[in-house]
């Protein structure tokens, strides 16, 4: 049996939305477990940004493009210090050409993809239903749900040929509970659970497991931008009276990516500090 810090030795992982927050933490955790990791994100350091195009992805993408929280390349550099190999790649999960190029680059430099983490997502479309627009609804679904579908389809043949694969979709507990004033986010995260279970049925006979992780309120760079009063309400409604950290999500992701989780597929696992329980 492999040591816990080498559970994923010899495996190649691709993580979407890995420049910051939960995606970055997952990429680092996979590398610490021995995997080689392709760190992909819409944003990449030292690259000119088309502000008009970026605005289509919402306020958070535009905001973070001007901060030091764009760490796609630096995360890859950090991974290599662990002794794993890594690449930082600009990739838009809504763009099939981008995905194919990233997979080709990853396969050439790191080996065929064994582990896919669909983490890329948007969560800044907050408005009551009468103020929601068709454009923003479509954006939410295109990034959060269709983006995962695009990436799964792109790695599927590699995994089928090897008769081994791990696909982990980062959904949210609001996929089950609903998301107030965020219909696109709630619907897309619920859709990820349905996608997970549907694809798990196809993958099972080919040694491919497909699971969803449903985080609760996690203290990431994006969440910290919310109104402090909202943050206080989130803490108050969580039984543990705090938000989680990205590092409290990553052990489950690493386990699901390992041989130890070979009989787990189609699962949707909450990691919420109890936020999905009935709370007065």
Instruction: Name which of 16, 19, 123, 119 is nearest 65 in CA terms.
Output: 19
Q: Is 51 exposed, middle or buried (0-12, 13-18, 19+ CB in 10 A)?
A: exposed
Distance CA 140, CA 146 (A): 9
Distance CA 210, CA 215 (A): 16
- Would you call 131 a catalytic residue per the annotation? no
H helices present in 86-227, as ranges: 96-110, 134-141, 147-162, 174-177, 183-203
Strands 86-90 and 268-271: unpaired
Considering 57, 63, 131, 185, which one is annotated as catalytic? 185
| Residues with active-site annotation | 185
């Amino acid at each position: 049996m492999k040591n816990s810090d080498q559970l994923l030795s010899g495996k190649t992982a691709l993580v979407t939305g890995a420049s910051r927050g939960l995606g970055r933490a997952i990429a680092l955790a996979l590398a610490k477990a021995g995997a080689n990791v392709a760190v992909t994100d819409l944003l990449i350091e030292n690259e000119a940004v088309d502000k008009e195009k970026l605005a289509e992805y919402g306020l958070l993408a535009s905001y973070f493009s001007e901060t030091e929280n764009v760490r796609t390349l630096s995360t890859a550099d950090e991974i290599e210090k662990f002794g794993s190999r890594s690449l930082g790649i600009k990739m838009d999960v809504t763009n099939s050409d981008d995905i194919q190029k990233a997979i080709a680059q990853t396969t050439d430099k790191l080996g065929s993809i064994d582990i896919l983490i669909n983490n890329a997502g948007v969560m800044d479309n907050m408005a009551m239903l009468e103020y929601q627009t068709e454009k923003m609804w479509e954006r939410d679904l295109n990034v959060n749900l269709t983006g995962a579908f695009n990436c799964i389809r792109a790695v599927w043949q590699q995994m089928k040929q090897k008769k081994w694969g791990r696909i982990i979709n980062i959904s949210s507990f609001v996929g089950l509970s609903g998301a107030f004033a965020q219909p696109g986010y709630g619907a897309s995260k619920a859709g990820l659970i349905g996608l997970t279970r549907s694809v798990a049925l196809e993958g099972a006979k080919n040694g491919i497991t497909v699971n969803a992780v449903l985080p609760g309120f996690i203290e990431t760079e994006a969440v910290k931008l919310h109104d402090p009063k909202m943050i206080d309400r989130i803490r108050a409604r969580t039984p543990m009276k705090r938000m989680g950290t990205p590092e409290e999500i990553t052990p489950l992701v690493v386990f699901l990516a390992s041989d130890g989780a070979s009989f787990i597929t189609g699962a949707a696992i909450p990691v919420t500090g109890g936020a999905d329980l009935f709370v007065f």
